[in-house]
Amino acid sequence: MDSFKFTPYLKSVIWGGDKIAALKHIDVSATDIGESWEISGVAGCETRVAEGPDSGLTLSELIARYRERLVGKKVWDAFGTSFPLLVKIIDARADLSVQVHPDDELAARRHGCAGKTEMWYILDTEPGARIYAGLSADLTPASYRKAVESNTIMDYIKAHDSKPGDTFFLPAGRVHAIGAGNLLLEIQQTSDITYRIYDYDRRDANGNPRELHTEQAVDAIDYRVFPEYKSAAIGIAPGVKSLAACKYFDVRLHNIVKPEAVGYADGSFVIVCCVSGKISVSTRQGNAVSVSCGESVLVPAERDMLIIDGSGEAVTAFVP
């Protein structure tokens, strides 16, 4: 079993742009692609194997076929055919709505699914681009409701100038929004539960205000104010930096200038995303897979080590 590439699931949205097609060198007629779901097991939005003998299988069908050989024993025991991570590339031509996601306990109680902790790695920005993450001033459930009603909620949310290479870790409960002019890689728990709390008074295609989830968000928001919300990359080996690490995922950035042997946690698959240049991914037992900028590959857990070669940067993610 070699590594797997998937056909991305492209989403057209009102705030999407044209950078994803250019990044991935794909020919599409749509000019409003806001999201490319690179590796997804979300029902209705699953990615399919792009090539090889398993071509056409959805991610869950692939897992059902190979079980722990593909995802790893600990992942299989915990999640079965449900893939625990979701990988996206997001292009924000306009500001996204201000959102918050529930944690596991609240999401399980309300929706019967996992919560959503995520991280963003900024790939490219336009002048003036911003990320909104965390609270900048004290807020309570009561003052939150008043701020939403008076359209002053943005006064309480921290704005950050963004640039390529920035990382933002967003645990469930942290209020956030992607500002216009950001192209980024998102790695998250597999969950599509979002509470929208502000949307700049935008209208849908029929002229109606987009739905807000003001009351649902009350119990989901983490009302604490922190001194810093931008994550610092931590060097852990020559050419390797830790971008985000939590119980759901461990994400690292690799600067590839020569072949790099990458060991990873026993019992988990590894996702490799090429974020600049062009690389190849191989294992000691398998064939090399070419990965261009904007592409991702899933390396089976049964491979005990992978080798990344070429020239560029790669982001890896696995379940710790």
CB-based contacts of 280, cutoff 8 Å, min separation 6: 288, 289, 290, 291, 308, 309, 310
CB-based contacts of 254, cutoff 8 Å, min separation 6: 239, 240, 260, 262, 308, 313, 314, 315, 316
Task: Give me the residue label for tokens 């699953």.
Answer: 46
Alpha-carbon distances, residue 70 vs 28, 34, 246, 302 (angstroms): 31, 30, 22, 6
Dist CA 246 CA 242 (whole Å): 11
109 is catalytic: no
**Which element (helix H / strand E) includes 88?**
strand 85-92
Please tell me what DSSP assigns to residue 136.
Answer: S
Which entry of 196, 210, 224, 303 is annotated as an active-site residue?
Answer: 196
Residues labelled as active-site residues: 196
